[in-house]
Amino acid sequence: MPIQLQFEPANNLIYATFSGEITPQEILHNTLQVEPSHPEYQPGMDSLVDLSTVKFVGVNFDILNDYATHMPEIERVRGHCRWALVSSNLLNYGILRMFTLINGESALQIKAFKSLDDGRAWLLEEAA
C-alpha cells in the first residue's frame, strides 16, 4: 500500500494518494498514526484522499461497519475535519459512497467524489 502525502497548511489540507492493494485496516493506520506523526500535521486539517488506483482487499459491509466504530477515536486524534474521498474508478467510488452512508452519524463530514477537482473544490469552498 504505497501512500504519498502532501500537506498544504495554507489551505488546512492533507492530500493523500493511495495506490496498490489496500485494506481498511491500512487506511485506519494511516489516519490515526501516519498523518498525525507528520511534522506539518495540525489537528483539524481536511483530507483530500485519492483512491482511484487502489484495489480494495477484504472490503465488505461488515468491514466498513467495523471501520465506522473507530470514528470516535479518529475524531479525537484528527479533530473536527472533512474528508473528500475520491475515485474515478466506479467500483471504488461505490465503496466510498457506501462508506459515507455508514458514517452518516459521524461528526466528521465525509463525501465521495469522482474527481479530484470536485473534492478539492468542496473542501476549499466550505473552508472559505
pLDDT on residue 63: 82
- pTM of the prediction? 0.89
Q: How many domains does the chain have?
A: 1
Residue span of the structural domain in which 108 resides? 3-127
Q: What is the pLDDT of residues 14-67, one digit of tens each?
A: 999 999 998 888 888 888 888 888 899 999 999 999 999 999 888 888 888 888
- Residue 49 is part of a domain; what is its CATH number? 3.30.750
Q: What is the pLDDT of residues 2-24, one digit of tens each?
A: 889 999 999 999 999 999 998 88
DSSP assignment of 34-89, as one string?
A: IGGGSTT--TT-EEEEEEEEEEE-S--HHHHHHHHTTHHHHHHHH-S-EEEEE-SS
